[in-house]
Amino acid sequence: MLDLRTTEKDMIATHIKEGDTVVDFTMGNGHDTLWLSKRVGESGKVYAFDIQEAALVSTRGLLEKEGAPNNYELICASHHRVEEFVEGPIAAGMFNLGYLPGSDKTVTTLHETTLLAIDAAVRLLSPGGGLLIAVYPGHAEGALEGQLITEKFAAYDRKQICVSQLKIVNSPTSPFFFLVEKR
């Protein structure tokens, strides 16, 4: 059976190589930040965003414990402000939407800022770059985010940006994924 965590990384991995600049738009406990940091290596750069100071503390702890390269910048700000902190272009970006499992469910990504952040991420993306967006439709705001993101991507010109979706059709509350690729 499909392992969603592995598949998610496989979808974006081909867009990331050593030395690249990448963004983790939803840092959380830092698992994706760590993966990105190791993938781009000492010569690369990872910018990671979260609105919770606790996420930065947790992520910094994980990166230090795991001996991540010294190539990351942890930023306590909403991801829709990415262009204030990241000059770009970026090779890749990851969004793991929703709330941190086991923490305050009211601190979740919200469609208003998520859609703005996706617009900014697409603007920053280099030609050949990719964005991975994981949507969690098992809660009301997640379902709405998924619907609005789908509508946004459906309107993109496919000659410039190709958007693929991976979804388990007989498990409607399972996470699903978009891969956004700039030509």
Ligand X SMILES: C[S@@+](CC[C@H](N)C(=O)[O-])C[C@H]1O[C@@H](n2cnc3c(N)ncnc32)[C@H](O)[C@@H]1O
Cα–Cα distance between 65 and 73 in angstroms, integer?
16
Phi, psi for residue 21 in degrees, rounded to 5: -100, 130
Minimum CB distance to ligand X smaller for 52 or for 165: 52
Does 37 bind ligand X (CB under 6 A)? Our answer is: no
State whether residue 47 is helix, strand or coil: strand
Site string for ligand X, 84-123 (x = CB under 6 A): ------------x-xxx------xxx---x----------
CA distances from 127 to 2, 38, 123 (A): 29, 23, 10
# residues contacting ligand X (CB under 6 A): 21
Subset of 45-84 contacting ligand X (CB under 6 A)? 49-52, 55, 78-79
Q: Which amino acid is at 139?
A: H
Phi, psi of 69 (to 5 degrees): -60, 155
Residue nearest to ligand X (CB): 28
Q: Closest separation between CB of residue 31 and ligand X, Å?
A: 3
Q: For the window 1-30, what string marks contact with ligand X as x by the rule CB under 6 A?
A: -------------------------x-xxx
User: Quick one: which of 72, 18, 16 has its CA closest to 49?
Assistant: 72
- List of residues contacting ligand X (CB under 6 A): 26, 28-32, 49-52, 55, 78-79, 96, 98-100, 107-109, 113
